[in-house]
Amino acid sequence: MGILKSSISFSRNGHGEVTDILRGIPRLKTYVVANLLYTLIMWFGMILLFIPGAIWAIKYGFMNYLLVDTEMGIKQAFKKSAQMTKGHKWHLFWWGTLLISMMTVSLLPCLLAMKLFFGTWYNFAILSAWQRIVVLPFGIGWALVYPVVVAGKGYVYNNFYERFMT
């Protein structure tokens, strides 16, 4: 919640505050329940052959931001997210594809290092402490890309928010 609030503040004001991270705590229960519901909707859609799940994930993708940014209830946030994304799902699909691609590419050096040095590329948990220390610098790309992704999502949310909430 704090990362979402910081990304919203950053895209509106050009800077975020450390206190933004703590501002969502009073709504934590609502946020958790809403995200569980969002996950169930998305997975139910994935069971129905992936496409409905992807559509619903995009349709309700701003629900988290609305809960953090406004005093909306869960049902209102889902409805408003659906209104905000109506007619823009393809744009948001390609935007999401770009973000996922950036995150995936940024993790490739870490995965390749695990495979080359230790023979595994899929299970970081089985590595010993010194092996993790060797592999972690290869994950620096993800550490650099993640803040860009979060700020970008906040920026897109703000653009939609300004169009539909004002």
Report domain extents, the chain.
2-165
Q: Which two three-digit tokens encode residue 123?
A: 């299970």
pLDDT of residue 127: 67
Element (H, E) at 3: helix 2-13
pLDDT of residue 75: 93
Tens place of pLDDT per residue across the chain (166 aa): 677 777 777 777 777 677 777 776 777 888 889 989 888 888 888 888 788 888 888 999 889 888 888 888 899 999 999 999 999 999 999 998 998 898 888 888 877 877 777 776 666 666 677 677 777 777 788 788 888 888 888 888 888 888 877 6
Cα-Cα-Cα-Cα dihedral sign, residues 28, 76, 57, 98: negative
pLDDT of residue 78: 92
Q: What is the CA radius of gyration of the chain?
A: 18
What one-character DSSP code corresponds to residue 140? H
Task: List, in sequence order, every beta strand (DSSP E) within 11-113.
Answer: none
What residue has token string 């052959």?
Answer: 49
Q: How many CB atoms are located within 10 Å of the residue 140 CB?
A: 12
- Region of 82 (left: φ > 0; alpha: ψ -120 to 50; beta: rest) is alpha
What one-character DSSP code corresponds to residue 149? H
pLDDT of residue 103: 87
